[in-house]
Amino acid sequence: MATEPAPPSPDLRPTLAVWKFASCDGCQLTLLDCEDELLGLADRVRIDHFLEMTSAEGGADGQRGRLEGRGPYDLSLVEGSITTTDDAERIRHVRRVSRYVVTIGACATAGGIQALCDFADIEEFLAAVYARPEYISTLETSTPISAHVPVDFELRGCPIDRRQLLEVITAYLAGRKPRIPSHSVCFECKRRGTTCITVAHGTPCLGPVTHAGCGAICPAYGRGCYGCFGPSNQPNLRSMVAQLHHDGMSERDIQRVFRTFNATSPEHAPVPELAAEECHSSRTGTEIRPERPA
């Protein structure tokens, strides 16, 4: 009598889903970029939903893949901002089927570069960009995921840093808090041994008010930090704006440098007013950052 085959052991690995909203895919690609760790990751988690890597569930036989994974998922990584009513609905679904929701990147965390539309007339944009604007259905704003559903953790960056992504995934797998410090980029810049380019060369740098995480890449290549990780904890924007002006930036430059990847971060809201105050004051220097004798 042939022995019965043992029943397949149940797959107890936690499940991971990766979701895309309005974004460039760069953050998801950071996950694929974890080449050395990807196999280890696949051992530890079941990657159940990741359109960038697989076809979607139900996508076999040439059928159109369903956009919505059924879940449930232990960890959902969400890239992108909410710019359509459909997406606003879809993110609620993601939340319902996920134990933890972690947003990845500036779009999902702060609305991204596309949130520049918040400061302009969306109809005008549509008319300027599309031949048939009537086919476009969009909200007037680009909002972060946290504006729609509760989020367990927000990972910064445009794009995110791969070591930080692995730290977040590892931490959730181990059931601990991710170690992602929210101090300034200057901490990383100094630990790395880079000479401060603001002090040594007068190059404007947003490092002192920008959230660490990138490892202070830009100053290491002689270029000022432009804030892609968004605001650090308690940024002193008044003093930063005065310093940027001191280092040669005009009011417009200052406004623009804060209106990039994290344009609608609430911390950045006072910048236009601060820049106007700083740059229009008749003084040559300010009390915040007085001119020093050369």
- The residue ranges that bind ligand SF4 (CB under 6 A) are 185-186, 189-190, 194, 196-198, 205, 207-208, 216, 219, 225
Q: Give me the least distance between CB of 100 and other proteins, in Å please.
A: 16
Query: Is residue 208 a contact point for other proteins (CB under 8 A)?
Result: yes
Instruction: Give the nearer residue to ligand SF4 in terms of CB position, either 112 or 204.
Output: 204
69 binds, options other proteins, ligand SF4, none, Cβ within 5 to 8 A by partner type: none
Tell me the CA distances in angstroms from 22 to 184, 234, 251, one per residue in order.
Answer: 28, 28, 30
What x/- string results for residues 211 through 230 when contact with other proteins is judged by CB under 8 A?
-----------x--------
Residue closest to ligand SF4 (Cβ): 207
Regarding 250 and contact with other proteins (CB under 8 A), the answer is no
> With CB cut-offs between 5 and 8 Å by kind, which of other proteins, ligand SF4, none does residue 169 bind?
other proteins
Among 118, 239, 253, 277, binds other proteins (CB under 8 A): 239
Give the nearer residue to other proteins in terms of CB position, either 60 or 174. 174
User: By the criterion CB under 8 A, which residues form the site for other proteins?
Assistant: 37, 40-41, 43-44, 166-167, 169-170, 173-174, 179, 181-184, 186-187, 190-193, 195-196, 198-202, 205, 207-209, 222, 233-236, 238-240, 242-243, 288-289, 292-294
